[in-house]
Structures are given as C-alpha cells and as structure tokens.
Chain A
Amino acid sequence: SQQGEEDPQALSIQEGENATMNCSYKTSINNLQWYRQNSGRGLVHLILIRSNEREKHSGRLRVTLDTSKKSSSLLITASRAADTASYFCATVPRAGNNRKLIWGLGTSLAVNP
C-alpha cells in the first residue's frame, strides 16, 4: 500500500540545535500533515499544509512542501528536551481513496540536554 517515507529514521541532537526531518510521498495530494507522538501517548497534530501552499510556520516549527519533488520537511528550531518524540507525516491523496491519511513510518527524534 502507499506509504510516505520519513528520513532520517532516527535523529539525535543537542538541546538548542535545529532538527530537520524529511518526508517523501508517492502520489499527488490534497494536504500533508505532521504529527508528534511522545512515548506511550497518542499522536498530536502539529501542522497541516495544503497542496497549494509552500511553507507554513507554527511557533518553532516550520514546514515546507515541494509538490514537484513530492516531499516535505519539518524544521524544529532551538530544540528542547521536551521535543523528544516520534514525528510522522501523513498525506491525503488527491485521487483514489482520499478519505484516509497515508502515514509514513516516522522519525524518532532524541534531544539531549
């Protein structure tokens, strides 16, 4: 089945550094979403970016979308230990079954104090 792919699979950085995660997908999309999952918890929605948007910000988060390359990136600036979590991208396909999100496999981020 279609899946997004995040890279890297795992990322370890020091507090205060920036963290960049990438997501690639396979088909044209309506929107792309990023979620965070802390250990042992449910997923939390971070940002939704539509196919006609190129960049979006929310606090320390910056998301870009390049539909020509079918890719997106999530940048977390000035990272904190509390940002330690898994980050998932999910897309809504433009064609076919657009009723569900197509999920990536996630990037595990560790922010060391």
Chain B
Amino acid sequence: DTAVSQTPKYLVTQMGNDKSIKCEQNLGHDTMYWYKQDSKKFLKIMFSYNNKELIINETVPNRFSPKSPDKAHLNLHINSLELGDSAVYFCASSQSARGGFDPYEQYFGPGTRLTVT
C-alpha cells in the first residue's frame, strides 16, 4: 500500500546521458512536487504540479523537464546529465486547501539516488 512510490531507487549513469525518474501517488492528492536533496541534506524545491498544471518552476536548468500525465503521476526527465546533478531526488504529494494552493502536509516518496560518473 505504498502511498508515494518512485522508480528507480538507485540510478548510476555517465555524464551526458539522458534519464527519467517516475513517481506515482495513490493518495488522491491534487498536487505533486519534485525536490532535490544535496549531500548536506539541503532540500530544494524544483517543480510542482496542481491538477496537471505547473505551479512552481524554480530556477532549474532547462535540462530538467517535468511531465504530469495525470494527477497521480509526475515524472522527471533529465537531459545531458552533469556531475552536479548527483543527489537524491524526492517526489512528494499533498492536498491543497479548498480555493487555494496552501500546501498542507506533504507525503514523500523513498527517493531516487542519482549518481553521475
């Protein structure tokens, strides 16, 4: 009964490659997020979708492209991977307040540890 799942859990790849990470939530939430957590555990928001609409698009290289085919899925595609992309990527979901986007508690996936060599 995994609430937020991500695949793959580990991803080791070479510089210049293109890779994708997939996320699915079965909580019925309307908002999903991608976060990047670096080696110092700093958590940085990258993107957020509400009902398939992109509502947060932080300063992220355009090599990163999110896609939300439906409310329950949010994928992250990364082109031309660089060493600095090595990190743990977390997907999360939440239910927004009625009439607004105020995020209530977020539910996180287990993370995808990306290593670029």
Binding site for B on A (CB under 8 A): 30-31, 33, 35, 37, 40-45, 48, 86, 88, 92, 97-101, 103, 105-106, 108
Whether B48 pairs with A100 at a CB distance below 8 angstroms is yes
Across the interface, name the chain A residue whose C-beta is closest to B43.
A103
Across the interface, name the chain A residue whose C-beta is closest to B113.
A40
Whether A43 pairs with B90 at a CB distance below 8 angstroms is yes
- Within the assembled complex, what's the spacing in Å between the Cα atoms of A31 and B96? 13
Number of interface residues of B (CB under 8 A): 26
* Contact partners of B16 in chain A: CB under 8 A: none
- Within the assembled complex, what's the spacing in Å between the Cα atoms of A88 and B43? 10
Name the distance in Å between B91's Cβ and chain A's nearest Cβ. 9
Name the distance in Å between B71's Cβ and chain A's nearest Cβ. 16
Whether A105 pairs with B41 at a CB distance below 8 angstroms is yes
Across the interface, name the chain B residue whose C-beta is closest to A86.
B41
Among B60-68, B79-87, B104-112, the stretch in contact with A = B104-112
